Every structure is written in C-alpha cells, then in structure tokens.
Structure 1
Amino acid sequence: MKTILFTLLTFFIYRFAKWVYSKKSLPIFHSLLLAPILLILLINIMNVSANQYLEATKWLTHLLGPATVAFAVPIYKHLPTIKKYMGTIVISVTTGTLAAIFSTFTLSKLIHLKADLLTSILPRSITTPIAIEVSKEIGGLPTLTTVFVILTGVMGGVMGPSVIKWLSIKTPIAKGLALGMAAHGAGTNKAMEYGEQEATFSSLAMIFAAWITLLWGVLLLPALINMKPIF
C-alpha cells in the first residue's frame, strides 16, 4: 500500500513541478529541484522517515537503468551521422570527463573537503546509475553522490542554454554534446527542447561520459584520492 501511495505521490508532485517550471522558468522552479523540496516537506508533514520513503519507492531508482538504455533508440536512428563524427565525439567527451574530474578534485582540495565527501563528489558529472557504481568503487557515499549528480544536472540544465547562446554554439551536434556532458540526464531533457538531433548527441555524450568515467574510476581516481595535499 505504501509503495502505491508514495509512487503516485512522487509522480504527481513531479508532474506538478514540471508544470510550474513550464510557467515560470526560474532556476528555483526546475522540476529536479522543486520536486524533491516538495517531497521532503510533504513526508515531514506526514511524519514519514526518509528510510520509509526510500524503501517504498526503491523500484523507481531501479528504473534509471532501463531509462538510460532506452536512449539507444534515437542513437540508432542517427547512426550514420554518429559514425561520421565519432572521432570528434570521443575526443570531446574524454576531454569533458577529465575537465570535470580535475576541476572537482581541485576545488574540493582548495576548500579542504573530507575524504568521504571528495570521493562522493568526483563522479558528479555522469548519470546517476553509473555514478553510484563509481562512487562505491572509489569508497564514496552513494547517497551523497546522487545529490551531487542531481545538483550538477539541475545547474547544467538551467545554465546550459545561456552558455550555448553566449558562446554562439550553432550546430546541433555541439549543442547536444555540451548539454549531455555537462548535465547528463537533465541536459538531455533540455536538449530535447532544441530538437531530435541535439537530444541524440546529448544522450550519446551522457553514455560515453559514463563509460569513460568508469575507466577513470579504475585508472585515475584512486591515484588522485591518494595524492598528498599540495595546497
């Protein structure tokens, strides 16, 4: 019963948040930010603990994997274009993942974050299911990683269009890769507003970034984490 109740509650609050953002496109009203805030307020009013809510809705988290796999459909549709620009895509996404990891690591060291926070925030620039696995691999806290991933997605989804406009990025491929790399799922959702091709390359960037970051999770992140302080 709780599963049905909280699932429906989550769904309708998310739809309400989407509606609010469509009327008032302000960062505070972004659906990935407004919906959790409303849910937190509501479950507190209902005297429901976070653990009870998570237990009742845990299957929603499991759907993130299949949802990510579903991005293969538009990718297959634009396969000839993807093959043509494969070299550009790989170089762009690899550079993007390195920039995300090193900028996060540097800022974390500058503000002297604790080791568990550092390892939790490093995978923030990839989609949630993969970020959780990378976080576990390097000794982070998956719950915290999820929060950082959502914040990164919201900020990228909100700020991305302004950055694209400011940099005068015109081509659908460049727009899609930028949004997918910077804001994963939220960026892909925003890319859909531009068009199908932008959404396709955003999906591709998100998936490639996950693969490449998994590789960095084995080869690069442990070395960074064990590096002696230099600040």
Structure 2
Amino acid sequence: MNIIMCSAVTFFIYLLAKNLYKKWSLPFLNPLVISTLVLIGMVSLVNVPVDTYISDAKYVTHMLGPATVAFAIPIYKHMSLLKKYIGNILVSITSGTFVAIISSFTLAFLAHLQPDLLLSLLPRSITTPVAIEISKDIGGLPSLTTIFVIVTGITGGIIGPYIIKWFSIKSPIARGLALGMGAHGSGTSAAMEYGEKEATFSMIAMIFAAWISLFWVNSLIPSLMNIMP
C-alpha cells in the first residue's frame, strides 16, 4: 500500500463509520470502534504488515497535532465562560488527572505489570500527541501508550453519555469537562452531540489535562516511579 492509497482508505472507512453512527446512534457503533475493527480486518485480509500500514498512514496520524491546535477556535468564542469558571476548571481537571494517574498506577501495580508497560499506561487519560511525548519522557513505550489512549477514549466515549444520563447531569460545563477529561478526543466527539458549549468545555478539559499532566511528569510520576520494584 502506498501513502496516498492508505490515507484515502483510512479516511473513507472512518467516514462510512461516522455516517453509520449518525444514522443509528448506537454506542457500539462508535466510529472509532467500527473503523478500527474494519481496518484491522482489512490489513489482516490483504496480508499487509502492521508496520507498513502505520508508516503509510503517518500523514493521518500527523493531523492530530493541527486538529488539537484547532480547538482554540471554539474556546476563543466562549472565552467569557472560560474566565468565569476558570477556578472550577482548574480544580476539576487537576483532580481528574491526579485520579487518572493514581488509579492507572495502582491497577498496573496490583496486576504486576512490567515497568515499561506500567509507564506506558500512566498517560492514558490525555490526548494522543501529548501522551506520546510524556510516554517517551518517563520511559514508556509510545506505541503502547497510543493503544491505551485509544481504548480509554473509546470506552469513555461510549459509557460517558450513559453516566451523564444516569446522574442527571444538566450543566453543559459539567458535561463537557467530564467527557473531555474522561475520554479526550472521543469524549469531545460525544460532547458535540449535546451542543457547542459542551464541546467547547470538553476541548478545554483536553487542553488543561495535557498542561496539568506535564506538571505531574515532574512531580507525581517520579514519586510513583520510586515505588516500583
């Protein structure tokens, strides 16, 4: 497969999965889930090495950076709300990133995972481009971190709306922050189904989670690494 064909096929499959989700809106039809499964089946069927596919689809992956930067546009539109609730945002996202790292470490530690697997798991609750860089800095495996981030995002994107419904969360800000912190990109996609405010605060949660996680890299994570056998 060449770069153009691989990128086009990836985009086309995701577009079909997204249209399928729009038509039926069933949680298990999440575009990330469907497109990932179809791509795995396609790569296996045509017997293309995974490394070859990843290399040929690198331009799709590189778009994660510009896509993250583009979040600044809706955030700018709602800057007044950001200023008004900045305290709530900082407290909730700081708490969220702390719990995410501690819970990941605790579960991995109890499961006796190897140190490189454990370190790869710690940045799972932040957006992929930043998670990859953090994984490199702390000695994790970026490829595994990417998988953990995707699984976290897909899971959160599927169950997040149900949790919001069960707990009758009505605030657009609370909905957005919860989905963005718990499921980053996939959560933001789910937040967009509620409205622009939810999507905006989900994006804010993603960005703040990345910033605050960089702080934990130099404080919390080194302390946890000292606990590892």
The interval holding the TM-score normalised by the smaller chain is: over 0.9
Which SS does the other structure have where 2:47 is aligned? Answer: coil
Gaps of 5+ in 1: none
- Structure 2 residue aligned with 1:84: 84
- Give distance in 2, aligned partners of 1:129 and 1:194: 26
Q: How does 1:90-169 map to 2 (within 5 A)?
A: 90-169=90-169
Shift of 1:45: 1.6
Task: Provide the C-alpha distance between the structure 2 equivalents of 1:125 and 1:133, rounded to a whole number of angstroms.
Answer: 13
Give me the whole-angstrom Cα distance separating, in 2, the residues matched to 1:24 and 1:227.
47
- Does the residue aligned with 1:155 lie in a helix, a strand or coil? helix
In the aligned structure 2, how far is the partner of 1:11 from the partner of 1:160?
A: 25
Following superposition, the deviation at residue 60 of structure 1 comes to 1.3
In the TM superposition, residue 24 of structure 1 has moved relative to its aligned partner by 4.2
Output the CA distance in 2 between the equivalents of 1:228 and 1:123: 17
C-alpha offsets along residues 120-149 of structure 1, whole Å, 9 cap, x if unaligned? Answer: 011000000000000001100101100010
Answer yes or no: is the 8 Å Cα contact 2:7–2:59 preserved in 1: no
- Alpha-carbon distance between aligned partners in 2 of 1:57 and 1:29, rounded to the nearest angstrom: 23
- In structure 2, what is the Cα distance between the partners aligned to 1:27 and 1:144? 25
Matches within 5 A, 1:53-92: 53-92=53-92
Task: Give the counterpart letter for 1:43 in structure 2.
Answer: V
Structure 2: tracts of 5 or more residues without a match: none
SS, match of residue 112 in structure 1: coil
Q: Which moved more, 1:193-202 or 1:51-60?
A: 51-60
Structure 1 stretch displaced more, 52-61 or 153-162: 52-61
Q: Deviations over 1:66-124 (max 9, x none)?
A: 10010000000000111011011001100000010111111111111111110001100
Partner residue of 1:51? 51
Q: CA deviation at 1:228?
A: 4.5
Q: Which residue of 2 aligns with 1:18?
A: 18
Compute the RMSD of aligned alpha carbons: 1.3
Q: Which amino acid aligns with 2:183?
A: A
**Residues of 2 paired with 1:216 and 1:167: CA distance?**
30
Deviates more, 1:88-97 or 1:220-229: 220-229
Per the alignment, residue 194 of structure 1 pairs with 194
- How far apart in 1 are the matches of 2:200 and 2:52? 37
**TM superposition shift of 1:23:** 3.8
Corresponding residue number in structure 2 for 1:223: 223
- Inter-partner Cα distance in structure 2 for 1:208 and 1:104: 19
CA distance in 2, matches of 1:228, 1:14: 40
Distance in 2 between residues matched to 1:80 and 1:52, nearest whole Å: 46
Displacement, 1:21?
2.6
Task: State the identity %.
Answer: 59
8 Å CA contact retained: 2:78, 2:200: yes
- Partner secondary structure for residue 227 of structure 2: coil
After superposition, give the CA deviation of every residue in 1:135-169 in whole Å (9 maximum; x if it has no partner).
00110010110001001001111100111111111
Q: Does the 8 Å contact 2:115/2:228 carry over to 1?
A: no
**2: distance between equivalents of 1:112 and 1:62?**
34
Give 1:78's aligned amino acid.
H
Match of 1:181 in 2: 181
TM-score by length of 1: 0.95
Q: Distance between the aligned counterparts of 1:69 and 1:157, measured in 2?
A: 21
- Separation in structure 2 between the aligned mates of residue 2 and residue 228 of structure 1, nearest angstrom: 43
